[in-house]
Structure 1
Amino acid sequence: MNGKSRSGRSDHVHRPPRALTSLRERLRDSFWFAPTAGLVAAFGLWWGLAELDNAIVAHLKQERAYEELGDLLSFAVDARTIVTTVSAAMMTFIGVVFSISLVAVQMASGQMTPRLVRIFVRSRISKLTLTVFLATFAFSLLVLTSYEGGTDPDPRRVTSVPLLQSLLTLGLVGLSLILFVAYVSATLRLMQVGPVLDHIARESLRALARHSGGPVGEPPIGPAGAQVVYRGRAGVLREVQVARLVRTAQRHGTVLRVLPRTGDFVVPGTPVLSVHGGPAPPARALGRTLFVGVDRALYQDPAFGLRQLSDIALRALSSAVNDPTTAVQCLDRIVQFLSAAVDLPLGPLLHLDRRGEVRLVQDVPGWTDLVDLAFEEIRWCAAGYPQVTRRLLAAFDDLLLLAPEERKAALRRHRALLVEAVERTVPEAADRAFALRPDRQGIR
């Protein structure tokens, strides 16, 4: 398809993803950054509040307000007991909470898909809770070093009263309790099928939106003059640094094409870039433009969302689980995704430079690829489940109403194959008629 929608409106120029957005996505896939930043922030807060506490004590001594200073000392002595208890109990609390949570995640991933762990790793509430817990523990330890010895120090000789530090410690404890309730609620939602499927669908739609809005098609770039071979470690192509590749191609007057799709497994020695219109840019100019990891990521790989939905449906249809209702819920989200993609220009994505010239071609899944990924494996397993076959037929009918004529063939093929599979599998005519009756809820 070209870069116009069915309404005739021209699509805007596709802008490459920003470097900061790419960095943010990689940080979200890590579980260490937020807790580490929280520990650094805890140390900074302690140092700043300690200076303020010392300034308060120095001011009161200068004003000879020993009675007010004595009241502060009395509060600090009482708060010291709480701070000591918090510092002793917080690490145990952290261990118990996250041990239970990891068991819950393990159970949920076993029931649905191992890719579910990725949702836990990227969860904002999980990282915020761990960050606040660790910050509270570290801050309480630091506050204990600010207390002076003795149970009843003399206001005239005291040099430090951790007033603000103690107040912030109490505030962090209260915040930790609130986050604990929110974290348990989020973890329980993670064990439910509906919220998990909704999360996957929303992330998939955002990834699909990043791949839409720009020109697509096969540009007249001619045969490849050279190829760039991959030299890094073997793994899954997670991300393509589009902006840097576009600048490199513009600087050298060439057009680059990314040969593997995002989500493909690449090994050292295989071609990853083809160069059109000139010699290959130097290796240093192409360094760190393709990021490879051990698993797929949704940021530039919208098909990975369909893969996860299909995996959950297949596990639900297995003889060990036998849960066709979960498969129907997966099909609901699959239809949601495909209905959003049905009118989008799909095909090789063209990235342009500032002058509007094609500088990078990136292969992405086409409409037929997405339909096959969504329905092929589920269709093979669905013939014995009338609830699933009825939902599949309703899905095909709904998508056929939305799809343009050139995209209906893939849907009709899967619909016909499903009908053939049911006719082969179900011997009774009445049962076949029931299984082949479209129903958006499967069986009401």
Structure 2
Amino acid sequence: MEELKVLDLSGIQFLSLPSSLYCLKNIRTLCLDRNLLEDVAIVGKLKTLEILSFLDSDIDQLPGEIGQLTRLKLLDLSHCLNLRYIAPNVISCLSQLEELYMGNTSIQWEVEGVDNQGQRNASLGELKCLSNLTALHLHIRDAGVMPQDLFFKKLKSYKIFIGDKWKWSSKYDLSTSRTLKLKINNSICLGPGIKTLLKVSEDLSLEEMNGVRNVLYELDMNGFPHLRHLLVKDCLELLYIIKSVAWNLAFPKLESLILRNLINLEKICHGQLNAGSFSKLRIMKIEKCDRLEYLFASSVAKNLTQLQEIEVTDCKNLKEIFGEESKDHGDEIETNDKIDFNQLCSLTLQRLPQFIKIGSDMRVVFPRLENLKLCSINIENTWLDQPLAMSSYSQCLKSLTVEECNGLKFLFSYSMVKSLNQLHKLVIGNS
């Protein structure tokens, strides 16, 4: 079958590939997914290959012969859990590569600059030879082996994890094509190549970023114009997500914001923001941020009309969801202003011992709230015991949970009970 161009041998359990493979003089695509393979050197004889996939296969090394595939455009090594060894200079020889998928492998990259005689494995510096690369999946467990000058000028799609704690998921989020997860012990490791990726990332996760105190200023002064999802956790030195006065535009496309265990975070935003900032935010989850007294200033709250879910847990000093910065920055908002969160359908407040109210000097209305959960909150003198506020969302409420809330006097006035025709779950515990 010398004219064969595509061969799929996925899921076939053989230790060595048939020697007759070298007869495929016109082969373009070879799939060896989900196989148990000990020796794949013969693949190097298929000089016409353009697509080669070992997805989810049991191979422990990629031999030097693979470097002979100089026409290769796509190489998929994803989820090859036992792959630890790639012969030096194999990757750098694949100069025509456009797509390289190496997520969830166990490769021990060498430090760039080790001479070939002492080098046991490939180095990440070889990626610099792939000038045509447009798609890359890569997990670098040790940031110390990453070259500072690693640039990807044509990269359009990527999923890059840096750090030893990230878990690679086999599920792909098709809504985002540029994902970056960083766990770096020293901000010096943030070379120009990584900062270039930060500017165009759509999904960004930051963990234990020592030396970083202000995400927006220190990582991307352009305001992350493409970012849609942001997770920040365990960054003990972080003081602000944004610290700026009259910033042009910050996070204009951000849809979800998750902050966890930021014990020194003083404010999410410090200073005035452009009206378009956070205007697409739908999901906000805050956990163990003990120095926060409120999430957003009232002036910023006006931008958050797309909010669908708010969840705040274990924040010891949080007093309000929407506070006021007028004393320091002259935010313009009149007392008793009203803000309608027409899209908000879920609100969860748990273990907030200092919590007082939703908004400062403003009336907050949730006309479409469906799920409300309150746990370990002192409800006395909060908004819940004021029937006027509860009536703003009682008609859509489907689930209400109130547990361990001291000071609770009543949930609903008699007139409000008649409007609760959508309520199908009511949990009251130790209140």
Greater helix proportion: 1
Greater strand proportion: 2
* Largest Rg, 1 or 2: 1
RCO higher in 1 or 2 (8 Å CA, sep ≥ 6)?
Answer: 1
